[in-house]
Amino acid sequence: MKIKRILVSQPKPENDKSPYFDLSKKINAKVDFLQFTEIQGVSLKDFRKSRVNLPDYNAVIFTGKTGMDHYFRLCEETKFNVPETTKYYCMTEEISFYLQKFVQYRKRKIFFGKNKFEDLTPLITKYKTDTYLLPCSSENNKVEILKKLKSLKVNFCKSVMYDTVSSDLKIINPADYDIIVFYSPASVKALLDNFPDFKQGELKIATFGTITAKAVKDAGLRLDIPAPTVKAPSMTMAIEQYLDKSGKPEAPVQTATTTTTPKTKKAETEKKSK
């Protein structure tokens, strides 16, 4: 099986330590990165329609930096001064450090896990009388967390504070790729929004997470490389194992890892036209 190009539906990593760069060299294929979705904050008018009263909640759960950005944005727009006694529950230590952008870190009650919501449940159970707020997007991707909070029998509320919308992907041609990697249902939707007549054919689809895998299948597409699995906890490992089973690709004459962005692609097109 010959693999020349892989498209990852995420922004290019900020450093060269991404496992995708190692994969690129190992299988002699180009890896392009392109953000399939964009984030738009919910307007103050629409937020007020949800009837969520921010002062009613003395604990906030952050699953990512985006939720944190829009929580504090709406606090500012509603003129709500967050009390110093507010507790913050973050999925990872990295997310907790991001709080320094909004509050004095040392003066706050901050808890964090190791990338799993289950890491936070003992702490949440410890403060069962608190009222919990979960900032999220309109995309239904927090189902398991909501089920867990319900099972803990705590007072909580899911609050939609931002939307995930499809980016303009017309700068690419899906047929130019051998594998496309999806990390969210929204990225799957973005592909179909941009290419309503999309035909998968021999193109391989890889997904990370059960919800994203379901989105691919619900869209009538073929899922070739699911992750994580017991043998492949990461997406790159899953791709590598899939290729090993299918037969390693032939090595092209030249190999490189590139980044595809709307601006660079447009520049290339203009240059060729000249």
User: Per-residue pLDDT averaged across 181-185, rounded?
Assistant: 95
**Mean residue pLDDT across the chain:** 89
Reply yes or no on whether the pLDDT at 33 is more than 70. Answer: yes
Question: How far is Cα 105 from Cα 48, in angstroms, rounded to an integer?
Answer: 29
pLDDT value, residue 2: 82
Reply yes or no on whether the pLDDT at 168 is more than 70. Answer: yes
Reply yes or no on whether the pLDDT at 256 is more than 50. Answer: no
Q: In the CATH scheme, what architecture does the domain 40-164 have? A: 3-Layer(aba) Sandwich (3.40)
User: Per-residue pLDDT averaged across 34-56, rounded?
Assistant: 96
Global confidence as pTM: 0.69
Q: Which residues contact 13 (CB under 8 A, 6 or more apart)?
A: 20, 21, 33
User: Per-residue pLDDT averaged across 62-67, rounded?
Assistant: 94
Question: How far is Cα 78 from Cα 25, in angstroms, rounded to an integer?
Answer: 50
Q: Which residues contact 180 (CB under 8 A, 6 or more apart)?
A: 6, 7, 9, 174, 191, 203, 204, 205, 206
Q: Do domains 5-36+167-273 and 40-164 have the same CATH topology?
A: yes
- Domain edges within the chain: 5-36+167-273, 40-164
pLDDT value, residue 198: 97
Residue 107's pLDDT band, with cuts at 50, 70 and 90, is: confident
What class, spelled out in words, does domain 5-36+167-273 have in CATH?
Answer: alpha beta
Q: How far is CA 189 from CA 192, 198, 218, in A?
A: 5, 12, 11
pLDDT value, residue 165: 93
108 or 165, greater pLDDT: 165
Place of tokens 């060299």: 25
The type of residue at 144 is E
116 or 49, greater pLDDT: 49
Reply yes or no on whether the pLDDT at 249 is more than 90. Answer: no
- 271: which 2 tokens? 């240059």
Query: How far separated are the first and last CA of the chain, in Å rounded?
Result: 37
pLDDT value, residue 72: 97
Residue 140's pLDDT band, with cuts at 50, 70 and 90, is: low
pLDDT value, residue 255: 42
